[in-house]
Amino acid sequence: MATSLAARQAAGLLRLSSASSRSAPSLIQRRGLAGAADHHGPAKVDFWKDPMSPSRWKEEHFVIISLTGWGLAIFGGYKAFSGGKKEEKLAEASN
């Protein structure tokens, strides 16, 4: 088993070395469709350019705004339900 695997690897290396000497230009990597000009769908915009259409925002802007909104909602809920009651009790106790 190990010898057949070693033989396959050696044969593969032999093919690569002989192919590189014959047709080196065919092994050059080309970046055909990897350019940024190939868009799919509508163009994405910054959130401040179109604040009423979240579907058109850039993905990273959508994530930042969503996390900020959730953070504000959780912090506001925490302050509304826990912070105000303690201050009222302290004010009544000191009078």
Question: Does residue 12 fall inside a structural domain?
Answer: no
Range of the domain at 54: 43-95
Question: Per-residue pLDDT for 7 more than 60?
Answer: yes
Q: How many CB atoms lie within 10 A of CB 48?
A: 8
Measured between alpha carbons, how far is 59 from 26 in angstroms, rounded to an integer?
Answer: 37
Q: What is the pLDDT of residues 73-86, one digit of tens each?
A: 999 999 999 966 55
Q: Whole-prediction pTM value?
A: 0.45
pLDDT tens digits along 35-76: 555 567 788 888 889 889 888 989 999 999 999 999 999 999
Cα–Cα dist 49/45, whole Å:
7
Q: What is the pLDDT of residue 77?
A: 93
52 part of a folded domain: yes
Which of 42, 71, 72 has the alpha carbon at shortest distance from 54? 42
Say what the pLDDT of residue 71 is.
Answer: 97
Distance, C-alpha 91 to centroid of its chain: 49
> Domain tally for the chain?
1
Q: Kindly state whether residue 6 falls inside one of the protein's structural domains.
A: no
Q: Is 21 among the domain residues?
A: no
Classify residue 69: in a domain, yes or no: yes
Asked if the structure places residue 87 within a domain, the reply is: yes
- CA 4, CA 36: separation in Å to the nearest integer? 45
